[in-house]
Amino acid sequence: MTRLFTALAILSLTSFGAFAQSNEAPADDQDAPAIIGEAPMTLGRMAEIVFALDPNAQNNGGSFQMVIDGTPIVIITDVRADRMRAMTPIREAAAVSDEELRRMMQANFDTALDARYAIAQGTLWATFIHPLAALEKDQLLSALGQTINLARTYGTLYSGGGIAYGQGDSTPLQRQLIEELLQQGEEI
């Protein structure tokens, strides 16, 4: 337990402390940039975005089925609860090894970005969950890309995109392959 608290303290001092310092508000509010947001996301607006990405998508009231670059995506919304979920199946959950489960949890901490690995109804999913009204177009587009990336990189990089966030375990594990290749390359 002490090890866990030590790790949390190190994370808060290195990652979150630096983050908080770098995001301090300017001394004079007049210097702060104006933040202009989009109108709340509606099912109509989401349908526009979905059909722009896949003209053959299906709209079933509060849910959408689409294919992006060969990957099936389902978006489920609940307007009353102000939630949305985009997801794609990866494989049967029973086939996930303990080692793979550990890697997915590590990736959920640092390389999955805003998407996540999840298990539900006997299936391993790549998913993105967000409040519906606050979702902006670019966030939705990024969410779909991250969800697809998670599904595609399952078993390899376990990554939602091109970056790793924070002091997690994924970067050193991914760097391990590069180090092994460099070591093998010394003999060539």
Model confidence at 167: pLDDT above 90:
no
CB-count exposure of residue 139 (10 Å: 0-12, 13-18, 19+): middle
> How far lies 169's CA from each of 132, 157, 164, 173, in Å?
31, 12, 10, 6
Position 13 confidence tier, pLDDT thresholds 50, 70, 90: very low
pLDDT band at residue 38 using 50, 70 and 90 as cut-offs:
confident
The predicted structure's pLDDT at residue 160: 84
3-state SS, 82-98, equals CEEEEEEEEEEHHHCCH
Chain position carrying tokens 């177009």: 137
Pick the CATH number of 39-164 from 3.40.50.360, 3.30.1460.10, 3.40.50.12170, 3.50.50.60: 3.30.1460.10
The pLDDT, as a whole number, for residue 138 is 86
C-alpha 177 chain-centroid distance: 23
Tell me how crowded residue 69 is: count the other CB atoms within 10 A of its CB. 11
Look at the alpha carbons of 109, 100, 179, 4 in this order and tell me if their dihedral is positive or negative: positive
Judge whether residue 18 has pLDDT over 90: no
C-alpha span between 11 and 84 (Å, rounded)? 30
- Which of 91, 90, 156, 95 shows the shortest CA–CA distance to 126? 90
What mean pLDDT do residues 37-65 have? 93
Q: Which two tokens stand for residue 167?
A: 């002091």
Q: Name the average pLDDT for the chain.
A: 79
Residue 171 pLDDT > 90, yes or no? no
- pLDDT tens digit string along 108-139? 998 898 999 999 999 999 999 999 999 998 88
Q: Which residue has the higher pLDDT, 107 or 3?
A: 107
Q: What is the pLDDT of residue 9?
A: 34
pLDDT bracket for residue 176 (50, 70, 90): low
Closest CA to 20 of 9, 28, 12: 12
For residue 33, the model assigns a pLDDT of 53
Percent of the chain with pLDDT over 70: 66
pTM for this entry: 0.72
Distance CA 70, CA 35 (A): 36
